[in-house]
Structure 1
Amino acid sequence: MQALNDFLSTISGFVWGPFLLIPLLLGTGLYMTIRLSGLQVRMLGRGLRHGLLDRDDDGGEGDISNYQALTTALAATVGVGNIVGVATAISLGGPGALFWVWVTGVIGMVSKYSEAFLGVRFRTTDSAGEQSGGPQYYLQRGIKGPVGKVLAFLFALFAIIASFGIGNLTQANAVSAGMHDTFGVDPWVSGVVMFIAVGAVLLGGIQSIGRITAAFVPMMIIIYVVGGLIVLGLMVDQIPAAFQLIFTDAFTGTAATGGFAGSTLMLAVQYGVARGIFSNESGMGSAAIAAAAAKTSHPVRQGLVSMTQTFIDTIIVVTITGLVIVTSGVWDAGSDTAGTMTAAAFSTVLPGQYGGTIVSISIVFFAFSTILAWSYYGERCVESLFGRRGSLPYRMIFTIMVFVGATTELEVAWTFADLANGLMALPNLIGILILSGLIARETKAYLSFDPKLTASAEEVRRFLEKQGTDWR
């Protein structure tokens, strides 16, 4: 296993290195930011209102509400990456890595908009009458010829692999470890419970997943955020120094101290970007699969709603985790402690076992919801390659792997997850660049017509007729 881990680490280091994914990811985000005139800043407030307050896009076609699509995407992204992933980035790249997580988040918002827009724009109806979309469809339907087909195939293949890494093994293992460390629950008990729970939810498909995530995703985020704000409130005098350390080390690297081995600027960027993507999945294309199922009257509307998911995940939840770790002073304990670093940070301020309990419960909720959402992502990619007949076998294997992840020590799973994430992002980012003209043109046209996102479904229909665009 160690030899396999070393091999995967070598490949992952190249994929996430300075000559491939990092420049492609940041470059695509910057390019789309320019083409869309800073859309993630201009339209953030309206996107939040449309997703969280309006919730339903009256008259829109789809399987779930835009709010359920948002919470499903949040379920996939607000997971172990927000707690353990951020700690890993800081423990390996230093406090400066948090700055690059933020950069990835801000730039990633426009990437998330672009892929969600395309997911709805090129979605199709499957044999069961459900909406299917995502990079595995829009790469092929939007980019004509063999290039689009190859990119779509590669995305679907890598996404299926990733669903067992980022969306299953690492999440299930985090749940069982947290339950064992905090409450003394044997891992096989956690594995059996998750096996039954995941299997039961998957039987209901996207409607069942949407109802579950809409019910408890807001609750789990609020519990964790409130706990983190209490910790930061009790250490408020340390926050200015923490920000100074984060911004300084982001451009200079971090000297060795305590158990921290030291890091260079490149390590801060590499781990910040990699863990930022692990957390918010912007540029990976996964959230476009959930967006495609949403009831919406126009792709721009759902794109803006999906964009807010990256803001909530990274700018709010990840920031709280990172600041708690840096202000508490536990960040330099060494990479071996990354798995328990966030719990230790909470426990430095909160009395008794409250800190560890809050983190452990949050990991359980975050990870379980991520498993549910990624099961849907993987299943849709299986369908794009093998049709509906592949759904049941995939669900069965996916559910079994939940038990495996909960009961097996899988050091290699984290390396595997990072690599699969990167391989997923490559064809998707290339596709966004190729389709950037269409995204910019149709986005500008729609926002000129409906800048406040208040047009009725009938008004949108007449607009589409006038434009000569029948995206359905």
Structure 2
Amino acid sequence: MNVDMLNAVDSFIWGPPLLLLLIGTGIILTVRLSLIQLFRLPRALKLIFAAENRGDGDIDSFKALCTALAATVGTGNIVGVATAVHAGGPGAVFWMWVAAFVGMATKYAEGCLAVKYRTVDKNGDIAGGPMYYIERGLGKKFKPLAVIFAFFGVLVAFFGIGTFAQVNAIVEITQLATDIPVPYTAAALTLVVAAVTIGGLQSIARTASKVVPAMAAIYIAVTVGFLVIFRAQVPAALAEIVTAAFTPTAAAGGFLGATVLVAMRNGVARGVFSNESGLGSAPIVAAAAKTKWPAEQGLVSMTGTFIDTIIICTLTGLVLVISGSWTGDVNGAALTNMAFQQAYPQMGSLILCVGLTLFAFTTILGWNYYGERCIAYLVGVKGIMPYRIVFIILVACGAFVKLDVIWILADIVNGLMAIPNLIALIGLSSVVVAETKAYFAYIKEKETTEQDIKVVTDAER
């Protein structure tokens, strides 16, 4: 299948119907949940470190979030934003924001339903995610939809976000920054991925909970440093992002120009690639969190989209727009690298190399687990080890696939995975609303009781 044919398939899948379904689902959930992503965000952020972690589950809420962030905070935040801006202009960043804002409500619903309908597999491990809330929530007659989701989930892990895009980004930036030959980097990466993933969720979660906070902090510090250096240009960059979202962007240098629809399509598609809201991946690990309240894990899950896109993707987008390098002929990691070198001429490549390598490595780990859960749903736990072996082989091959083919394939399988999940989210939205009301009624009663106890104690004193 040639690139032109893949582009045609990609354009069809990511046409107006899917964009409307994706954004529309987020809007429906935003309205039905009374702007939960705005009014309940402070509590959600607090829960990252203060969740009760009581109830059934394999890992605590923080590790579940870190594993989900490991899968989402990756090349999409660096390479994905670069390809979106290079193809759609600065306006693509605005449409990333829109997709992320409504996507926070979507991610909340996914996390909530994942815990609500989770089960236990034959190995005694927690099993959950869209395939389970489709079958157990919508009913047995919808099982074909669950099977479709799991099938495309494996394809995304194998050919989409999970392997090729991440590996290609690592070897490209490593070669740019250090001149290490591609085969050497590919071999080292494959060995490390194999060592961690063979250990399963506990091994992945332990690694993610240590690496993710550190890598996010380092990258945020470096990008904020860039914006401080070029602080005078930040207001103009923000204005350009908003203006370009609603008006066509003219051709300039190597940039061919972009219509509003092109900016919207690239912004939403790359935003989903980055934060995975609506894709159905994050609820697979959210289901393993130790909690008895589905809504509690929904809130924790929601912060993933906020951290990934509203914070990290925005910082990358501003760096690219301010640098002006998006109008050149380079793309992907090379484009972001060129932008960083304006602020850090000596260390820019090395900083980006470390950041991108950590981001992409942890994404590989997270998606290994997602695909594993999908294959277990399709063929049972006997399929887990063969799946891991194939995954590791594909990691080894990912360094040698062309960048344009990688991103087109990733977009196609992402879109096909999202469709059954979005249908389920709409169909089960009433369940999400009911769980949300029950949780916040419990919180209100708990806070009232604690206040009454405090009053009595103070009176006794």
Answer yes or no: same fold by TM over 0.5. yes
Provide the residue aligned with 1:351 in structure 2: 345
What is the 5 A alignment of 1:43-192? 43-51=40-48, 53-54=49-50, 56-146=51-141, 148-164=142-158, 165-192=160-187
- Rounded to whole Å, the distance in 1 between the matches of 2:98 and 2:112 is 22
1:453 & 1:277 partners in 2: Cα distance?
36
Query: What is the letter of the counterpart of residue 303 of structure 2?
Result: T
Is contact 2:129-2:284 (8 Å) kept?
yes
Tell me which residue corresponds to 1:263: 258
* Contact 1:50-1:453 within 8 A present in 2 as well: no
8 A Cα contact 2:176 2:349, kept in partner = no
CA distance in structure 2 between the partners assigned to 1:268 and 1:452 by the alignment: 47
Q: Please report the RMSD computed on the Cα atoms of aligned residues, expressed in angstroms.
A: 1.5
State how far apart, in whole Å, the 2-side matches of 1:401 and 1:145 are.
Answer: 34
1:289 to 280, 284, 287: 284
The aligned residue for residue 423 of structure 2 is 430
2:331 aligned with 1:337? yes
Deviations 1:154-175 (A, max 9, x none): 1001110000121111101111
Contact between 1:191 and 1:407, CA under 8 Å: does it hold in 2? no
Q: Secondary structure at the match of 1:8?
A: helix
Superposition map of 1:391-406 within 5 A: 391-406=384-399
**What is the DSSP-based 3-state SS (H/G/I as helix, E as strand, rest coil) of the residue aligned with 2:162?**
helix
Partner of 2:411: 418
Runs of 4 or more consecutive aligned structure 1 residues displaced over 4 Å after TM superposition: 451-456
Residue pair 2:53, 2:60 contacting (<8 A) in 1 also: no
Q: CA deviation at 1:454?
A: 7.2
For structure 2, which runs of at least 5 residues remain unmatched after alignment?
450-461
Q: Distance in 2 between matches of 1:455 and 1:176?
A: 55
Is the contact between residue 134 and residue 146 of structure 2 (CA under 8 Å) also seen in structure 1? Answer: yes
CA distance in 2, matches of 1:305, 1:281: 15
Question: Is 1:6–2:25 an aligned residue pair?
Answer: no
Sort the Cα spacing of 1:263 and 1:136 in 2 relative to 1 into closer, same or farther, 3 A.
same
Contact 1:163 1:377 in 2 (8 A): yes
Could you report, residue by residue, the CA deviation over 1:103-130 in whole angstroms, capped at 9, with x for unpaired residues? 0111100000111111111000111111
Match of residue 205 from structure 1:
200
Match of 1:312 in 2: 307
Stretch deviating more after TM superposition (234-243 or 401-410):
401-410
**Stretch of structure 1 that moved more, 187-196 or 21-30:** 187-196
What one-letter code is carried by the residue in structure 2 that aligns with 1:36? L
In the alignment, the residues of structure 2 paired with residue 65 and residue 454 of structure 1 have an alpha-carbon distance, to the nearest angstrom, of 23
The aligned residue for residue 20 of structure 2 is 23
Q: In the alignment, which residue of structure 2 is the partner of 1:464? A: none
For residue 410 of structure 1, report the CA deviation from its aligned partner: 5.1
The CA deviation at 1:187 is: 1.3
Query: Is the CA contact 1:68–1:211 (under 8 Å) kept in the aligned structure 2?
Result: yes
Contact 1:46 1:453 survives alignment (8 Å): no
* Structure 2 residue 435 is matched with structure 1 residue 442: yes
Q: 1:411 to 1:328 in 2, by over 3 A?
A: closer
8 Å CA contact retained: 2:53, 2:289: no
User: Do 1:119 and 1:134's aligned partners in 2 also have CA atoms closer than 8 Å?
Assistant: yes
1:257 is paired with a residue whose SS is coil
Q: C-alpha separation between the residues in 2 aligned to 1:211 and 1:339?
A: 28
1:445 Cα offset (Å): 2.1
Unpaired runs of 5+ residues, structure 1, are 457-472
TM-superposed CA distance for 1:208, in Å, is 0.6
Matched with 2:456 is none
Contact kept in structure 2, 1:46 and 1:452, CA below 8 Å: no
**Residue 199 of structure 1, CA deviation:** 1.0
| Of 258-267 and 409-418, the range deviating more from structure 2 | 409-418
For the residue of structure 1 that corresponds to 2:355, the secondary structure is helix
* SS of residue paired to 2:332: helix
Q: Which moved more, 1:336-345 or 1:371-380?
A: 336-345
Comparing 249-258 and 380-389, the one that deviates more: 249-258
Secondary structure at the residue paired with 1:450?
helix
Task: Report how many aligned residue pairs link the two structures.
Answer: 448
- Could you tell me how far apart the structure 1 residues matched to 2:112 and 2:428 are? 11
Q: Which amino acid aligns with 1:15?
A: I
CA drift of 1:5 comes to 2.1
Residue 194 of structure 1 aligns to a residue in which SS?
Answer: helix
CA distance in 2, matches of 1:59, 1:328: 48
Deviation at 1:426, TM superposition (A): 0.4
Partner residue, 1:37: 34
Work out which of the residue numbers 337, 358, 377 in structure 2 matches 1:384. 377
The 1:289/1:260 distance shift into structure 2, 3 A limit, reads same
Contact 1:199-1:399 at 8 Å conserved across structures:
yes
- Please list the CA deviations of residues 283-316 of structure 1 after superposition, one character each: whole Å capped at 9, or x if unmatched: 0010000100111121110000000000000011
The 8 Å contact of residues 117 and 302 in structure 1, kept in 2 or not, is answered as yes
Give TM-score scaled by structure 2 length: 0.95
Deviation, 1:408, is 4.1
AA at the equivalent of 2:313 = V
Secondary structure of 1:261's match? Answer: coil
